Copies of this chain bind each other. A is one copy, B any other.
Amino acid sequence: MVGKEIPDIIVGRLPIYLRALRHMREDGQQTTSSQELGKQVGISAAQIRKDLSQFGEFGKQGTGYLISYLIDKLCEILKVDRVWDVAVVGAGDMGHALTRYQGFFNRGFRITMIFDNNPDLLGKKIGDLTIQSTDALVSALKAGKVSLAMLTVPATAAQKITDLLVEAGVKAILNYAPISLNVPEGVIVQYIDPSTHLQRMTYYL
Contacts and interface: CB of A to CB of B under 8 A. Distances in A.
Contacts of A73: none
23 contacts: A11-B200, A11-B203, A11-B204, A14-B199, A15-B200, A19-B195, A19-B196, A42-B180, A79-B202, A84-B202, A86-B198, A92-B97, A93-B97, A101-B194, A107-B195, A107-B198, A108-B199, A148-B202, A172-B198, A172-B202, A174-B194, A188-B204, A190-B197
A16 interface: yes
A138 interface: no
Contacts of A136: none
A3 interface: no
Copy tally for this chain in the complex stands at 2
B19 A80 contact: no
A18 to B, nearest CB: 7
Given A97-B94, A202-B79, A194 B41 contact: no
B201 A148 contact: yes
A107 B192 contact: no
